[in-house]
Amino acid sequence: MELNLSIPALLFPAISLSMLAYNARYLAIAALIRELHRQYREKASVTLGKQVRQLQRRLEIIKQMQAAAILSFLFSALCMLLLYFEWMFWANLLFGSSLFCLITSLILSFIEVQLSTKALKIQLSDIGGGTPDR
């Protein structure tokens, strides 16, 4: 396959949309942490502790998702620069790295969605009186 400037440029919209979604998740979790902190100051509970642990894990994963997406974006831009200078070996290497980072970011996003669902089950178990599934 011959790599040209339009191929890495195709990643720009996908990466940008991913970064917007990740930022929205981050902002939502930040608001939730603030709310849980307020609740914790009023009255601590077991469910609240479980939620905080889940949020800590999710926050770390979102940080990694954002880092992978940023690297993907950077590698894609550098790939286009190297294509401009006709350094094909390095351009191909960076394009592959960009794809790898994008895939990593998407896998982390999948994991974070699973944790988010588990956190909601914890919340629902507190309301319904049942125990959350593992």
Q: What is the pLDDT along the chain (134 residues), one digit of tens a residue?
A: 788 888 888 888 888 889 999 999 999 888 888 888 888 788 877 777 777 778 888 999 999 999 999 999 999 999 999 999 999 999 999 999 999 999 999 999 999 999 888 877 877 776 765 555 55
Q: What is the model's pTM? A: 0.80
Are the C-beta atoms of 132 and 100 separated by less than 8 Å?
no
Domain locations along the chain: 6-125
Output the CA–CA distances (angstroms, integers) from residue 51 to 9, 59, 95, 114, 132, in the order listed. Answer: 40, 12, 39, 14, 12
Cα–Cα distance for residue pair 131/121, rounded to 1 Å: 9
Specify the pLDDT at position 131.
Answer: 57
